[in-house]
Amino acid sequence: MKLGIMVNEGPFTHQASDSAYLFASAAIEKGHQVLRVFFYYDGVNNANRLSEPQSDDRNLVRLWSELGKEHGIELIVCVAAGLRRGMKEELLADGFTISGLGQLIEAGIAADRLVVFGD
């Protein structure tokens, strides 16, 4: 099954980002393909390369980057939501790119399912 994922919450304010990451990892392990992860609203904070959680905490920015690189997953940050939150191209972690809502629509069309995490 081809999956698209939408993440609407930041990595440290809500369980949605953790759940989305774990879902994507489990889906890949089961042989499914994650085509694209679209980060919207506060979810854009999952791409902030300046994020430095404590050493005993999970680093979702790094985990998303590694997952995207290892499995060829597009990690798309919504340009409008990103700019509202100060996220510019130079602040993006490895593997993330900025684009528009068209990428979300395209993921919904290309995927068998589009799974949304967060409000």
Residues designated as active site? 78
- Residue 3 burial (C-beta neighbours within 10 Å; 0-12, 13-18, 19+): buried
User: CB under 8 Å to 57, separation ≥6 — which residues?
Assistant: none
Crossing angle of helices 16-29 and 60-71, in 10° steps, is: 30
Cα radius of gyration rounded to whole Å, the chain: 13
